């Protein structure tokens, strides 16, 4: 069974731009969660989508948004990029919402200059 | 506020030298505690879920245990390929199930 895939793997953007990251979950998994990982803050939860609905949202500004499609694929968008948004963005899928076992993708490394 | 603290931050072992990593938590009610392994440049890899005090789970050289205040990840006779960062996370019962992650323990096993 194919794992979680994320595209692109690496991205360089400048301040003020916006970015869209994509995540394809494991086949059959309907929940997709997004995380931000930085050396300073560790792994922080952004949001979770299940059946195209946002189920949970972490403590991030409104510049961070996401959506899920009917095939469970998900995208997250960050608008008006700031230097502090440089991070590894991880997507994780699970069978159900709030799933105990999450399977992570390799991440997208975003660098904001 | 829910808190998860992992110790030590970094650990260096010789191959075959067994040790334990600690994850202590302060939550209003535990739904589940999870252990992950993360290799450099990769996403975390799921290892175990523990639900109640006294529960234990094993996988190869790893054994995870849970008490009411902390969890231990015991590594028996580690090999260099066990080198990674080990993360624990907790989910709180009766809430949104948003997991709170610890900062991780970076383990290096020397041959």
Q: Cα-flanking dihedrals φ and ψ of residue B102, to 5°?
A: -80, 175
Cβ–Cβ gap B46/A102 under 8 Å:
yes
Report the residue of chain A nearest B43, measured CA to CA.
A106
Alpha carbon separation from B72 to A17, A88, A90, B19, B108 (Å, rounded): 43, 27, 25, 10, 17
Q: Does B78 touch chain A (CB under 8 A)?
A: no
- Measure A83 CA to nearest chain B CA, in Å: 20
Residue A107 has its nearest CB partner, among B34, B36, B43, at: B43
What's the pLDDT score for residue A34?
A: 97
Cβ–Cβ gap B45/A104 under 8 Å:
yes
Helix (H, G, I), strand (E, B) or coil at B80: helix
- Per-residue pLDDT at B60 exceeds 70: yes
Residues facing residue A42 across a β-bridge: A38
pLDDT in tens, B32-50: 999 999 999 899 999 999 9
What's the pLDDT score for residue B3?
A: 87
pLDDT in tens, A65-102: 999 999 999 999 999 999 999 999 999 999 888 767 89
Q: Cα-flanking dihedrals φ and ψ of residue B80, to 5°?
A: -55, -30
Q: How many residue contacts between A and B have a Cβ separation below 8 Å? A: 49
Helix (H, G, I), strand (E, B) or coil at B82: helix
pLDDT in tens, B67-96: 999 999 999 999 999 999 999 999 887 767
DSSP-assigned states of every residue in A35-95: EEEETTTEEEEEEEEETTEEEEE-S--TTEEEEE-TTS-EEEEE-S--GGG-EEEEEEEES
- Per-residue pLDDT at B110 exceeds 70: yes
């Amino acid at each position: 069974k194919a794992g979680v895939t994320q595209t692109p793997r690496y991205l360089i953007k400048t301040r003020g731009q916006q970015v869209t990251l994509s995540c394809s979950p494991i086949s059959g998994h309907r929940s997709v969660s997004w995380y931000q990982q930085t050396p300073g803050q560790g792994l922080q939860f952004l949001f979770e989508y299940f059946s195209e609905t946002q189920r949970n949202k972490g403590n991030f500004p409104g510049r961070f948004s996401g959506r899920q499609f009917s095939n469970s694929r998900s995208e997250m968008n960050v608008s008006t990029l700031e230097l502090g948004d440089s991070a590894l963005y991880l997507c994780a899928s699970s069978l159900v919402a709030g799933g105990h076992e999450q399977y992570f993708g390799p991440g997208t490394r975003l660098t904001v200059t | 506020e829910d808190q998860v603290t992992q110790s030590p931050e970094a650990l260096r072992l010789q191959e075959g030298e067994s040790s334990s990593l600690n994850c202590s938590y302060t939550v209003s009610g535990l739904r589940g505690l999870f252990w992950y392994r993360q290799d450099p440049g990769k996403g975390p890899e799921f290892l175990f879920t523990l639900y109640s005090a006294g529960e234990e789970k094993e996988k190869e050289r790893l054994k995870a245990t849970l008490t009411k205040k902390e969890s231990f990840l015991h590594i028996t006779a580690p090999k260099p390929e066990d080198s990674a960062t080990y993360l624990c996370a907790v989910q709180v019962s009766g809430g949104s199930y948003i997991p709170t992650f610890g900062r991780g323990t970076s383990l290096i096993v020397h041959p």
